[in-house]
Every structure is written in C-alpha cells, then in structure tokens.
Structure 1
Amino acid sequence: MSMAYLALAGRIILLGMERLIVKGLGNDGDNVEGVFVFFGLGALFLLPFAIGESPDNYTFLLFAFSSGLLYSLANIFYFKSLNIGEISLVTPIGNLSIFFLFVLSVLFLHEKFTFFKVLGIILIFYGTSTLKQEGNFIKSLRAIIYDRSCLYMLIYSFLVANGRIIDKEAGNIASPMLYSFTVYVFVALIMLIYLLLNGRLKDIVGILKNKTLYSIASGFTNAFTYLFLLVAIRTIEVSVAEPLSMLSTIISVTLGSLILKENVQGRITGVILTIAGGWMILL
C-alpha cells in the first residue's frame, strides 16, 4: 500500500510540473512539433515497459488509433492554451474533462445521475466562474469562454474526455501498458506525418536542439505520470486515484505563482471548488 501511495504522490508532483514544462516547450506556432516531442519521447520512455506485452487480439489498434487522433488534436490545443495563458488560470479549467467525461458516460455508457454528481457539476462550474470574476456568474463564465487560452483548454478537455471513452472500451483487449504505448506511438506518427507533408521536419530538430532539457523533461513526465498511475491502481481504486491526481492543479498554480510570478489571488477558491466538484462526480 505504501508503494502505491508513493507512486501516486509521484504522479501528482509530475503532473503539477508538466504544465510549466509544456509552457516552456511550446512556441507561438501551432505547436505540432512540441506535441511530437511530448509523445515521441514519451513513447521511448514507455518502450522498455511495453516490451513483452501481447494483446488478446489486434482490434485494440483501431481503438488506439482513434484515441491517437483525438489526443493529437487535443494536445495541440493544450500546448496553445499553456503557451498563451497563465497556468493558474487555464490549469483548473482542465478539470472540466471530468464533467465532459461524465456527460459522455451518461450518453454512451448509460451511467446514472446522482445527487453527488449533480452537486459536483455545480461546484465545477461555480469554481470555474471564480477564475475570472466579472460581476456575476454568467458574465464570469462568458469571460472564460471569450478568453482564447481558456477556450483552448476547454476544447482540450472535451477532446480528452472523448478519448477516455474510447480508452475505456479498449480496456479488456490489451494491457494498459501496451495500449498506452501504442497510443503514444500513433500520436507521434500523426504529428510526424503532418510535419513531413508541410516540409517542417527541421522544426523537430530545432526544438530538440534549442529546448533539449524541456524536450526530455516533457517526454519523461508524460510517460511516468501514466506509469505511476498503473502502479498506484494495483492497490488503490481508480475512483480514489483519479480525484487525488487532481491535486496536481494546486502544484501547478503554486509553481505559476512562484516561478512565473502569476497573480493567483482570487483563483485559489476556484481551484479548490473544481477539485471538490471532480471528487463528487468521480466518487
């Protein structure tokens, strides 16, 4: 049990740091090369753990490719959001993926509404509205949507939630390690093909050369946050591990304040409320 919680603590810390790393890795373009490095190096870190894994059948490749398409597009918006927005503002909005996941689960997986899930939705939206206070609840939510960095994170959250539905359907076909590695490879290949068709392979060399430490750190955090989750859920239920992982938001906001000198005053309440809402929905 102690090893499981140690792994979960590692996941929370790495997730908290990841947003700053991605912000440093991104640029003012479409960030395709950043996403390639993020997942390409992540796949290399996962490779030693995926060797020897075999699926029950190879239909999992279709699920992995579908998720790969969604995650490719999602992470372009993720990079864009963190590149142009403040970490303390956009990171809590990423927790809305829990809300989108719940809605999609009700529609496609026939999950039921409960009092606590409805309360969780209310907390998430109210907490989100406090991140950009504009006088009242409606105006504050409108300000969030009209902010480009926030809108990009909302799109990212929605696309990731769709990917999670596909991942859940593939859960009984291949091991989590093999499936994750395959998804990472597909994302990297999609980004590579895009860069190749647009004559931008040199952009990969440029980002690896000019942002070597950020590149390695991004691949490491991307891979090992998942590995640590696998270790944790051997003992801890997923319904506990995932809400605890949302604590990484606090680390990201704190680092944004200390390192990037962001003004987080007034946003802490929103962070706490969105995390509490996620807990309500997942539990």
Structure 2
Amino acid sequence: MLGETPSILGVIGVILVASGAYVLKSGAEGDMLEPLRRLWEERGVQIILVVILIYSVTANLDKIGVNMSSPILWPLTVYTLSSLFMLPIMAMNSGDWRNKIMADWKPLVFLGASGGAAVILQMTAIKLTLVSYVVSIKRLSIPLTVLLSYLYLGETDEFWYRIAGSVLMAAGALLIYL
C-alpha cells in the first residue's frame, strides 16, 4: 500500500514477534495447534481477526495521514471525529452517562492524557519508520504486561510459556531495531 520494504532482519523480527504472540496464546497444555482451533470455534477470536484485518489497513492510512499533516494533527482529527460519531451512540445506550463521567472524571482525564500521548508517540514513530516495524514494536506491550502481572499481581499461571513468548517478541523487536 505504501511501497515500504522491510530489511531481511526486519522481516525475521516481525516473524519472531508474531511467533512470540502465538506461543503466549498456546498455553501450558503445550498444544501448539490450540490457537488455530480457536479460530474456528470461538466467536471472540473470529472478531479479533476482523479487527486485525481492519488495523492492517488503518495503520497504513495513519502513515498517509501523518505524512500529509503531522503526528499531532492527524490523531487529534481522527479521535475527535470518532468521539463525535460515538457520542450519540453512548448517550442512547449508557443511561445516566453524565453522572458517571462526573463521578470518575479524574481517572478518565488520566486515561485520556496517557492514551493521547501514546497515540502521538505512535504516530511520530510511524512518520519516522516503516509501519510494519511500528506495529510489531507496539506489541511489546504484551511482554511488559506479562512481567508486570507477575511482579505486581502475582499471576503465575502459564508464566514460563508467557516468558518464552515474551523473549521471542523481544528478540524480534531487537532484530527490527538492527
């Protein structure tokens, strides 16, 4: 779509990141085909595949939008229009939404500010490098979540499979960096 071609190390890195995510999902049973079976059996997995397909297009559109404007103006425009579109839907389906927002405004402001900063940083990265690299590096939030869940929440279920998948993802990110 954009004519961007990753290096050989970049391609291997993207494959390692995807493989790490696959290992994370395979679980302690060691059944490496389980994630593939879930594609046919679980509605949620099928929906996320549609999301992945949509994101594969919108990530490229983000690059086009950022190149035509800026890493700040593009997400500001997209998220403002998305919010305006979603406002009537939220108002119809959320009952007493005004009071809910007013009651929880502090965490909502924090979430909005941190989410906005993350999007601006992502758009800056998209402007500076290949879209496929940015999308893969963004997936490093998964191993970070695994580590923080272990350290702060005491989550130990399937920890070593999660660490193995995380190491693959980190190795892939390193190859993308090189």
Flag whether TM exceeds 0.5 (same fold): yes
Deviations 1:18-75 (A, max 9, x none): xxxxxxxxxxxxxxxxxxxxxxxxxxxxxxxxxxxxxxxxxxxxxxxxxxxxxxxxxx
CA distance in 2, matches of 1:244, 1:114: 15
CA distance in 2, matches of 1:169, 1:212: 34
Show the counterpart of 2:167.
272
Show the counterpart of 1:55.
none
* Unpaired runs of at least 5, structure 2: none
8 Å CA contact retained: 2:143, 2:166? yes
TM-score, normalising length from structure 1?
0.47
| 2:60 matches 1:172 | no
Q: Letter of the aligned partner of 2:113 in structure 1? A: F
Where do 1:158-169 residues align within 5 Å? 158-169=53-64
Show the counterpart of 2:12.
119
Cα RMSD (Å):
3.5
2:144 to 251, 258, 263: 251
TM-score, normalising length from structure 2?
0.68
8 Å CA contact retained: 2:12, 2:172? yes
* Unpaired runs of at least 5, structure 1: 1-107
Across the two proteins, how many residue pairs are aligned to each other?
168
**Higher RCO, 1 or 2 (CA under 8 Å, sep at least 6)?**
2
- Deviation of 1:208 (Å): 1.7
CA distance in 2, matches of 1:167, 1:126: 25
Change (3 A) 1:156 1:272: farther
Change (3 A) 1:135 1:258: closer
- Deviation of 1:166 (Å): 0.9
8 Å CA contact retained: 1:130, 1:140? no
- Deviation of 1:269 (Å): 1.4
1:202 to 64, 84, 95: 95
% identical equivalent positions: 24
